[in-house]
Amino acid sequence: MLVLSPCVCDDVDALSGIDWENFGFGLRPTDFMYIIKCKRGGEWGKGELQPFGNLEISPAAAVLNYGQGLFEGLKAYRTADDSILLFRPEENAMRLNAGADRMSMPSLPVDTFLHAVKQAVLANRRWIPPPGKGSLYIRPLLIGSGGVLGLAPAPEFTFVIYVSPVGCYFKGGLAPIDLKVESFYHRAAPGGTGGVKTIGNYAPVLKTQLTAKGKGYSDVLYLDAVENKYVEEVSSCNIFMVKDNVISTPELKGTILPGVTRKSIIELAHSRGYEVLERPVDVEELLVADEVFCTGTAVVVNPVGSITYESRRVKYNNGEVGKVAQELYEALTSIQMGHAEDKMGWIVQLN
């Protein structure tokens, strides 16, 4: 097996000529991926960098047959002095392990996760966009890679990290998005897996997302599966509302992903003197909110321009970015990009 030390090459020209304003969030293959394996009941082996490429996997792999898989998402930023910054990577490690427990997979020591992230980023450092132009999205996967036929945990697990340079998640950059409330399909049910980042939570939202996009919406907002009236989350991000300067977001109760950006925005808002409530949010409240915005690693903080619920469409802030979303976006991204002092201790600098 090929074992490589992180590439020292920092040929930023690899990214020259890219139209960053329209770069978007898509897969652009880079140089290396990082892989570690573990037998069921055993210890994790030695991780290694390999050239980015296809994984060889049994057609009987538990991830392919039974969806035994988790993923994570975090970002690396390049600063003006060419440092590389990671944002709260240990939070991703801990969330992955919570998911591993739910999905009957082995947990990965936090240090091993952090080492793997650092190796993957440093080996692909030439793909980190220039300062202010985007980020390197880091995608860790934990999958049941060994073959099984009867329903059981895989005999072997693989942890792999690949990366891709990315720009803004939604078309139009930070422009406010238009959400459609889905009141027939649900994303998660109590006792299910909505609170962990398992791969199976994501394919089911494609049908509603594609339908909504076909009608001109940016994405779909899900309601709770029991009463069909409390807001849960958008397909790929958490949601917040602001009313009379009080910020509210649906509480974590097992059906909502505990977003790292969600947690950071709550902490940042508190530190800036806002009252922040984690509580059940009735969809009707959203329709009379002053501001609504989404948070996520991929989307960062994205304002919501309109919400359509059944036959009602409500617009916010006349299509402008709301004041609170703007303030929190700037506060968060200036820490992530190294423009502001990291008073929260969130940043891990790689070099």
The catalytic site residues sit at 197
Footprint on residues 186-215 left by ligand COI (CB under 6 A): 202
What residue has token string 């968060």?
Answer: 332
CA–CA dist 224, 67 (Å, integer)? 23
Q: Are 34 and 48 in contact (CB under 8 A)?
A: yes
- In one-letter notation, the amino acid at residue 301 is V
Region near ligand COI per CB under 6 A, out of 110-118, 155-163, 178-186, 294-302: 294-302
Q: CB of residue 205 vs ligand COI: minimum separation in angstroms?
A: 9
Q: CB of residue 83 vs ligand COI: minimum separation in angstroms?
A: 22
Q: Measured from the CB atom, is 20 or 202 closer to ligand COI?
A: 202
Q: CB of residue 265 vs ligand COI: minimum separation in angstroms?
A: 13
Work out the burial of residue 175: count CB atoms within 10 Å of its CB; fewer than 13 is exposed, 13-18 middle, 19 or more buried: middle
Q: Measured from the CB atom, is 146 or 222 closer to ligand COI?
A: 222
Strands 275-278 and 246-249: parallel
Binding to ligand COI by CB under 6 A, coded x per residue (else -) over 215-254, reads: ---------------------x------------------
Q: Measured from the CB atom, is 241 or 301 closer to ligand COI?
A: 301
110 contributes a contact to ligand COI by CB under 6 A: no
165 contributes a contact to ligand COI by CB under 6 A: no
CA–CA dist 31, 166 (Å, integer)? 15
CA–CA dist 88, 98 (Å, integer)? 16
CA–CA dist 250, 266 (Å, integer)? 12
Of the candidate residues 107, 249, 297, 336, the single one contacting ligand COI (CB under 6 A): 297
CA–CA dist 268, 261 (Å, integer)? 10
What are the residues binding ligand COI (CB under 6 A)? 73, 202, 236, 296-298
